[in-house]
């Protein structure tokens, strides 16, 4: 679906593409990306890892891999707008072709989007638009769906509402609990993230309204 007069963004990344990854937790998605970038043909390098908390395990993974790291805590700023401006400046320092939110538990603000919209993607652990927000797998399980999965999308100003780049389906098993389902989704989610970031890096992309074309 293309909408008349929808904003168009075309990005041709440098080679290798410069990627900044934002994390809040353990960073298994980041670890998978870092592993993939060891292959020169992959086409992307993680130049920096940023977090909103010191405890994010992904920071150590970034350091080990030789990437720069930074932490921008919301609580260190007078308000959300100041944090948004500081995070935007931190990410901009690394001059990214692509910014990847991988388990980053904060919504970026208007300043960030003004600078990076169209080159900022997030991975979510359900099949959007079903079950957005922080507790997707739990909500999917409680609802009783038989298939869920993971969605990679370009972030816009809404909560998990941006243009969809890729989705992978994960069947719900009868004996699943939140933990087993979450973990099985993460396996599929990581593979999808690695595949799609590589494609974006190597082929570039064009975003027209809600339509994403890789290699266009
Ligand atoms: C991912 O499943 C993501 O969808 C969710 O948090 C998880 C992050 O995991 N928002 P990790 O930190 O990459 O291991």
DSSP run (H or E) holding 47: strand 44-51
The candidate with the shortest Cα–Cα distance to 23, out of 46, 45, 51, is 51
Mean pLDDT of 100-123: 96
Coil/strand/helix, residue 76: helix
In the 8-state DSSP scheme, what is residue 79?
A: S
pLDDT beyond 90 at 6 = no
Query: 129 preceded by cis ω (within 30°)?
Result: yes
Bind-site residues? 27-29, 80, 122
The structure tokens listed for 11 are 């990005």
Question: Does the Cβ of 122 fall within 6 Å of ligand 1?
Answer: no
With cut-offs at 50, 70 and 90, classify the pLDDT of residue 4: low
Q: Please report the pLDDT score of residue 192 as a whole number.
A: 98
* Residue in 102, 107, 192 to alter for ligand 1 test, most ligand atoms within 8 A of Cβ: 102
Q: Do 21 and 30 form a contact (C-beta atoms < 8 A)?
A: yes
Q: Which domains are seen in the chain, by residue range?
A: 14-116 (3.40.50.170), 122-216 (3.40.50.170)
Q: Please report the pLDDT score of residue 180 as a whole number.
A: 98
With cut-offs at 50, 70 and 90, classify the pLDDT of residue 8: confident
Calculate how far, in angstroms, residue 212's C-alpha sits from the geometric centre of ligand 1: 23
Q: What is the tens place of the pLDDT at every residue in 124-165?
A: 999 999 999 999 999 999 999 999 999 999 999 999 999 999
With cut-offs at 50, 70 and 90, classify the pLDDT of residue 189: very high
Q: Please report the pLDDT score of residue 27 as a whole number.
A: 94
Q: What is the tens place of the pLDDT at every residue in 27-67?
A: 999 999 999 999 989 999 999 999 999 999 999 999 999 99
Residues tagged active-site = 124
Mean pLDDT of 91-116: 97
Residue 26 burial by Cβ neighbours in a 10 Å radius (0-12, 13-18, 19+): middle
DSSP run (H or E) holding 138: helix 136-143
Which positions ≥6 away from 73 have C-beta within 8 Å? 52, 53, 54, 83
Question: Does the Cβ of 151 fall within 6 Å of ligand 1?
Answer: no
Ligand 1, atom 12, residue with closest C-alpha: 27
């Amino acid at each position: 679906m293309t909408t008349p007069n929808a904003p168009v963004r075309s990005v041709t990344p440098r080679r290798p593409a410069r990627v900044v990854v934002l994390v809040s937790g353990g960073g298994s998605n980041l670890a998978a990306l870092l592993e993939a970038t060891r292959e020169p043909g992959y086409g992307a390098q993680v130049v920096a890892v940023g977090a909103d908390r010191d405890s994010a395990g992904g920071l150590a993974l970034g350091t080990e891999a030789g990437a720069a790291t930074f932490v921008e805590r919301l609580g260190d700023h007078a308000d959300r707008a100041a944090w948004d401006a500081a995070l935007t400046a931190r990410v901009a320092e690394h001059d990214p072709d692509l910014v990847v939110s991988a388990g980053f538990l904060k919504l970026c603000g208007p300043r960030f989007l003004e600078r990076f919209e169209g080159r900022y993607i997030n991975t979510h652990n359900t099949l959007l638009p079903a079950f957005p927000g922080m507790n997707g797998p739990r909500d999917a399980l409680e609802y009783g769906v038989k298939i869920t999965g993971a969605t990679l999308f370009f972030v816009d100003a809404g909560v998990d509402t941006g243009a969809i780049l890729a989705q992978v389906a994960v069947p719900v098993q009868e004996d699943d609990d939140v933990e087993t389902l979450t973990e099985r989704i993460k396996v599929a989610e990581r593979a999808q993230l690695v595949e799609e970031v590589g494609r974006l890096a190597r082929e570039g992309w064009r975003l027209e309204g809600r339509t994403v074309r890789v290699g266009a």
